[in-house]
Amino acid sequence: MESSLLHLLLLSSLLLAIVSAVAAQGAVLDSDGDALLRGRQYYARSIYRGGRGGGLTLVAANESCPSHVAQASPVNPNGLALAFFPENFTAGTISTGRTLYIRFAAAPPCSGGRSALWQVRQSSRYLTTGGSESSAVGPHNSRFAIYRDNSARGYQIQLCPCSAGVARPSCRLGCFGALGVTSARLLSLNAGSRHIVTFVKAK
């Protein structure tokens, strides 16, 4: 009887360890190897061979609203802090391939009454603030997902207008592509240079 109980406990421990390992593989990890947490602030540091570029910041491109998301200069490796909010409101950690909303911790310099939430503008394909956390059925351009980029040992952020990882997906479209950096250092959908980042806790 004691032997059967011991075997059962060992089997339960093994299953728990396997489940934990699988869950860890699906989590987006920061530079310390910890899973990204919902609402916690992080810096998205750019990964470039040769050290060309810093973290993410906000600029009023052409002095217009809403503010554009841009790569900071190399002297600003952190940029501005971000927070991530899974569309699945019960999720406490950020998982790869699951849709989420991304928000700057600071108010945009050119707010015009708009939010600090990310969106891709349909007209220009640039990444700006002024997004929405709408849960309405159908695609919208404030949903993103984070994917591991093994070649650069970092992560890329993709526009994923349809829900993934929620009980009722909003539509059936796949992700539209990864964000990249233009020659003007603005982030844009499918721009020439892939934007790969690593996440660092904001102290």
The DSSP annotation for the chain comes to: -HHHHHHHHHHHHHHHHHHHHHHHHHB-B-TTSPBPBTT-EEEEEE--TT-----EEEE-GGG-SSPEEEEPPTT-SSBS-EEEEESSTT--B-BTT--EEEEESSPPTT-TT--SB-EE-TTT-BEES-------SS--TT-EEEEEETTTTEEEEEE--S--SSSS-S------EEEEE-TTSBEEET-SEE-EEEEEE--
Give buried/exposed letters for 71-89 (b at 16+ CB in 10 A, else e). Answer: bbeeeeebbbbbbbbbbbe
Residue 23 has a pLDDT of 41
Residue 111 has a pLDDT of 54
d(C-alpha 91, C-alpha 77), whole Å: 29
Residue 14 has a pLDDT of 36
Structure pTM? 0.82
d(C-alpha 155, C-alpha 158), whole Å: 10
Domains, the chain: 29-201 (2.80.10.50)
Length of the chain: 203
Residue 18 has a pLDDT of 34
Each residue's pLDDT expressed in tens, for the chain with a length of 203 residues: 555 543 433 344 333 333 333 344 499 999 999 999 999 999 999 886 545 668 999 988 765 677 899 999 888 889 999 999 999 999 999 999 999 999 999 877 665 557 899 999 988 899 999 999 887 788 999 999 999 998 778 999 999 999 999 988 889 888 988 999 888 889 999 887 788 999 999 98
Residue 98 has a pLDDT of 96
The count of other CB atoms within 10 Å of the CB of residue 20 is 10
* Residues near 70 by beta carbon (within 8 Å), at least 6 away in sequence: 56, 57, 58, 59, 61, 184, 185, 186, 187
